[in-house]
Amino acid sequence: SFDFDPKDHVELADGLDILDMESASKVAGPGFYYLKGDGFLLDLALQRYALDKLMAAGYVPHTVPELVRGRYMTGA
């Protein structure tokens, strides 16, 4: 039991001003979010931590093109 009322992750993120659900919902629909400022940096740090762990275990990272031929996007 806590001596305070626990907050969910959205309330915490709103309080820290690291989340923008209003703008994201206009672009992608309800339930989507943008991480901003320190939220973005935290997400990036967690990704880098995971990548460092994987690389230490022998994983070789790859990047792929962001542009593909249309027929591959549609499965044709």
pTM for the predicted model, two decimal places = 0.72
* Domain segments of the chain as ranges: 1-42
H/E stretch holding 1 reads none
Q: What are phi and psi of 20, to 5 degrees?
A: -130, 95
Contacts for 32 with CB less than 8 Å, ≥ 6 apart: 21, 24, 25
Q: How confident is the model at residue 26 (pLDDT cuts 50, 70, 90)?
A: very high
**Mean pLDDT across the chain:** 92
Q: What is the mean pLDDT of residues 45-59?
A: 98
The C-alpha angle with vertex 54 and arms to 73 and 10, in degrees rounded to 5, equals 70
